């Protein structure tokens, strides 16, 4: 089974993943913020709008897309 990369399944989200989130105030515009998951805030197994997380740096939003498995994969890209 292919992993869910859209961020709707809690099992797919882990601390340290690089993800794009949409903050509540950016829902209308769809503006995404990329960062590293620091904390998973949603307790349920799934959420239709994405699992809510806190990124390193403090931004809170729902996962729109999982970018890569770990932050170390982006180190050579300068992320």
Tell me, yes or no, whether 56 lies in a domain. yes
Tell me, yes or no, whether 3 lies in a domain. no
Of 8, 14, 7, nearest to 71 by C-alpha is 14
What is the distance between the alpha carbons of residues 30 and 47, in angstroms, rounded to a whole number? 18
What is the distance between the alpha carbons of residues 71 and 57, in angstroms, rounded to a whole number? 14
Per-residue pLDDT of the chain (79 residues; tens, 9 = 90+): 345 577 899 999 999 999 999 999 999 999 999 999 999 999 999 999 999 999 999 999 999 999 987 656 545 445 4
Tell me, yes or no, whether 55 lies in a domain. yes
Q: Which domain holds residue 43?
A: 10-77
Q: Give the E-state strand segments of the chain in sequence order.
A: 18-22, 33-40, 52-55, 60-68
CATH of the domain at 28: 2.30.30
Tell me, yes or no, whether 4 lies in a domain. no
What is the distance between the alpha carbons of residues 45 and 28, in angstroms, rounded to a whole number? 25
Tell me, yes or no, whether 44 lies in a domain. yes
Q: Could you tell me the pTM of the whole model?
A: 0.81
């Amino acid at each position: 089974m292919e992993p869910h990369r859209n961020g709707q399944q809690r099992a797919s989200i882990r601390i340290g993943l690089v993800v794009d989130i949409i903050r509540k105030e950016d829902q209308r515009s769809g503006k995404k913020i990329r960062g590293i998951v620091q904390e998973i805030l949603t307790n349920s197994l799934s959420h239709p709008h994405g699992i809510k997380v806190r990124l390193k740096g403090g931004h809170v939003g729902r996962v729109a897309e999982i970018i890569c498995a770990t932050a170390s994969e982006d180190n050579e890209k300068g992320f």
